[in-house]
Amino acid sequence: MSFHECGGNVGDDVYIPLPIWVSEIGKKNPDIYFTNRKGRRNPECLTWGIDKERVLGGRTAVEVYFDFMRSFRVEFDEFFVSGIFSEIEVGLGPCGELRFPSYPEKHGWRYPGIGEFQCYDQYLLKSLRKAAEARGHTSWARGPDNAGSYNSRPHDTGFFRDGGDYDSYYGRFFLKWYSQVLVEHGDHVLSLAKLAFEGTCIAAKVSGIHWWYKTASHAAELTAGFYNPCNRDGYAPIAAMLKKHDAALNFTCVELRTLDQNEEFPEALADPEGLVWQVLNAAWDACIPVASENALPCYDRDGFNKILENAKPLNDPDRRHLSTFTYLRLSLDLMERQNLLEFAHFVKRMHGEAISELPIEAEEKI
């Protein structure tokens, strides 16, 4: 269920905007979109600030999502009854992922920028004011003014640097509120998805933001809504929310190797393997199904081996494993002979067949 625009992000080669009737409302009320500190709007999805605001022709955003899901369920009833539709993944943000649109390429973001907080539409600011008043600190009803811009590095900002304001009393208050907005949005939409698709498994996708993972603040995760600095587990609350709705967690970047990232972008201080291990274990500890997919095109054996390693961890006493894996994606590159042979080798191993680890060329000779 895609409630976001397609186009302008990594891997997008088509452009499908939000429905015209939504865009028309957005022209009169641009606060229905996520907004950064400078006031720039991002029309790729609706701000979570209007989840319960009747600004969409008399309906709230959550009601619009529910009406769409219910209509889909009725229209394609035969596919649900027959079991052809085995799972519904519910879009919860940009690219269908549960995250703030903190690193939009079309706004100039480039890897490994830390991104920007996206809470400056009038509805999220109203929520922030209420939270600050409830806490008894009205001066905290603001976003941080020293968090840099899309392509800043953590150490260049007063907020994200080691010992920075992210760990101050105000910083902890703001980040807790910001991440809670994310969790509550997932909670609202999935509660209605479970109602619309009763009897069918539902899932939600969480993005793998692995850059700056080796720093104390985890800045890129913070701007995306994952309150996961080095002294806090930001993914356990998300896993608990998914558990509440019997929803599976779909996570990305299981093919990425930390060593490769460090060689290609040493300045990013990335650790995709550490992030994947943290998130998968948070989900397994919550006893929810875990699915995954690759973040970038993958045709080599090292990448496939990393996927297999995450899909079926060796020597796990609890025999935990991924429930499903989605390969991205069918393309002309995949159809090249060597790539297709490697992919076939990977699929056989994923299904438990005993396959030689010799190079493809050697296997063919044998």
Q: Is the dihedral of CA 181, 187, 190, 195 positive or negative?
A: negative
- CB-based contacts of 149, cutoff 8 Å, min separation 6: 113, 116
Catalytic-role residue among 5, 89, 221, 293: 293
In the residue annotation, 353 being an active-site residue is answered as no
Would you state the structure tokens that stand for residue 179, as one six-digit string?
A: 């991440």
In the residue annotation, 293 being an active-site residue is answered as yes
Torsion on CA atoms 253, 258, 261, 263, rounded to nearest 10:
-160
Nearest in space to 45 (alpha carbons), one of 14, 68, 19, 27: 19
All domains in the chain, ordered by first residue: 20-296 (3.20.20.80), 307-354 (no CATH)
Cβ(131)–Cβ(34) under 8 Å? no
pTM: 0.93
Catalytic-role residue among 97, 116, 221, 342: 97
Cβ(212)–Cβ(269) under 8 Å? yes
Per-position pLDDT tens, the chain of length 366? 999 998 866 666 788 999 999 999 999 999 999 999 999 999 999 999 999 999 999 999 999 999 999 999 999 999 999 999 999 999 999 999 999 999 999 999 999 999 999 999 999 999 999 999 999 999 999 999 999 999 999 999 999 999 999 999 999 999 999 999 999 999 999 999 999 999 999 999 999 999 999 999 999 999 999 999 999 999 999 999 999 999 999 999 899 999 999 999 999 999 999 999 999 999 999 999 999 999 889 999 999 999 999 998 888 888 899 999 999 989 999 999 999 999 999 999 998 875 556 565 655 554
